[in-house]
Structure 1
Amino acid sequence: MKVIDLTHTISENMPVYPGTETPKLEVANTYETNGFKETLLTMFSHTGTHMDAPSHIFAHRTTLDAFPVEQFIGKGLVIDCSELGEGQRITMSYIEAVKEKADQAEFLLFYTGWDNHWGTNTYFGDYPAITEEVADYLISSKKKGVGLDVIGIDPISDEHLTIHHKLFAETEIVVIENLARLGEIGNELFTFFALPLKYENSDGAPIRAVAVLNK
């Protein structure tokens, strides 16, 4: 068995979505004064490697804390799209190339290699994004979730969040953004864990994403 951590570390100088404040990690108690260390964490719910709930877009839709925990665990498949450059789209041709495995998977994770730009201005550029046709496949195949190693499932230029709206309008699916190390998993099915912080009425939350490979 091999375990791969797919999560970026939360820090005060980490990349965040443009317009969002960076996290604050303040020492609240110290070894010297209190005999123990405790940290006050202040950050937005969509910070770092995180998960979006349908309620992120629609007020009447499901929050993360309302999902059964089984929603966050399942068979994953990484689809290699790393040949794509700036402004290019992830089309159904990538899914068709691995269709049998894609149909079996509960989570599709698209590997673009964009996590190599983590910490640079390029990360917020014109990264590869999925098409509406791919979103239709995710909906019709009733996937538990979809993930990418970029900052958003929509192009950064799409202020209307078209893909978010399409996926969350009626479907019980979660969206995972800012994944890391997808290129280390390979092209076989594996067990995927993406466990969000459980807080009340959560529209999104940081997660610890992990791949467990049967090797």
Structure 2
Amino acid sequence: MIIDLTMEITSMMPVYPGDDLVKLQEIKSFEKDGYCNHRFETGMHIGTHLDGPMHMTNSKLYISDIKLDNLIGKGVLINCKDVDIIDYENGYEELINEGCIVAINTGHSKNFHSEDYFDKHPVMTKAFAELLIRKKVKAVCVDLPSPDMYPFDIHKMLLNSGIFIGENLVNLERLEELMDFEIFIVPLNIRADGAMARIFGRTLDE
């Protein structure tokens, strides 16, 4: 089974405050021109996307430099529904293993079209981030616009430690349907600090 964890990209979709609006339009139609074509204008951090280390550190690693092996791994789902703080718990020590990809389901994705989505979302504690760093996970994926807020200390901790950050995921609750699964993060092969990505979970027995 494959579960798509990726948000659909649409014109004028909500973006992080201060980012450019998404412009997606059909510029050629089959009826008029004999073929169809679309034009797309956007920043890299819209919808479901991947933050690379260059985003908030002095790294020179572009998204196109990241090996896909580093973006595919055994998936671990952590349920933090209806919490304001994503904090360390002793049980995570056994649950999270080296080289895995951690997905955190807070249920916040349902608020994407509300005013509170970007301004009032759960945040990760330093204790939890330190656990991810100590466990040497490949990436952490959240159904949030960010794992933290200004001055983005958690971003910097994770990215400086080589942990990639997937943001604005959807359908994370559906990973509960899977026993053992992998998470695939497939960003654009682009020379940029971040990129839109197709992210999905797949059962290991397929």
2:138 aligned residue (138, 144, 157): 144
What CA distance in whole angstroms lies between the structure 1 residues aligned with 2:42 and 2:167?
16
Shift in alpha-carbon separation, 1:104–1:161, aligned structure 2, 3 A: closer
2:194 aligned residue (198, 204, 208): 204
TM-aligned CA deviation for residue 161 of structure 1? 1.0
What CA distance in whole angstroms lies between the structure 2 residues aligned with 1:126 and 1:29?
40
Partner in structure 1 of residue 110 of structure 2:
116
What CA distance in whole angstroms lies between the structure 1 residues aligned with 2:105 and 2:142?
6
TM-aligned CA deviation for residue 214 of structure 1? 4.7
Letter in 2 for 1:145: A
1:183 aligned residue (173, 177, 196): 173
What CA distance in whole angstroms lies between the structure 1 residues aligned with 2:138 and 2:77?
14
What CA distance in whole angstroms lies between the structure 2 residues aligned with 1:7 and 1:78?
16
With normalisation by structure 2, the TM-score equals 0.92
SS at match of 1:47: coil
Deviates more, 1:98-107 or 1:29-38: 98-107
What CA distance in whole angstroms lies between the structure 2 residues aligned with 1:98 and 1:133?
12
| 1:135 and 2:135 correspond | no
With normalisation by structure 1, the TM-score equals 0.88
What CA distance in whole angstroms lies between the structure 2 residues aligned with 1:188 and 1:62?
34
Question: CA RMSD for the aligned pairs?
Answer: 1.7
Partner in structure 2 of residue 65 of structure 1:
64
Partner in structure 1 of residue 11 of structure 2:
12
What CA distance in whole angstroms lies between the structure 2 residues aligned with 1:118 and 1:189?
28
Percent sequence identity is: 29
Kindly provide the CA deviation profile for residues 52-76 of structure 1, in whole angstroms up to 9, marking residues without a partner as x: 0001112334221111111111111
SS at match of 2:116: helix
* Equivalenced residues, count: 204
What CA distance in whole angstroms lies between the structure 2 residues aligned with 1:98 and 1:162?
21
TM-aligned CA deviation for residue 116 of structure 1? 1.1
Are the counterparts in 2 of residues 24 and 42 from structure 1 also a CA contact under 8 Å?
A: yes
Partner in structure 2 of residue 174 of structure 1:
164
Shift in alpha-carbon separation, 1:123–1:109, aligned structure 2, 3 A: same
SS at match of 2:117: helix
TM-aligned CA deviation for residue 123 of structure 1? 1.1
Deviation >4 Å, runs of 4+: none
Name structure 2 gaps, 5 residues minimum.
none
Are the counterparts in 1 of residues 98 and 137 from structure 2 also a CA contact under 8 Å?
A: no
Are the counterparts in 1 of residues 24 and 38 from structure 2 also a CA contact under 8 Å?
A: yes
TM-aligned CA deviation for residue 14 of structure 1? 1.6
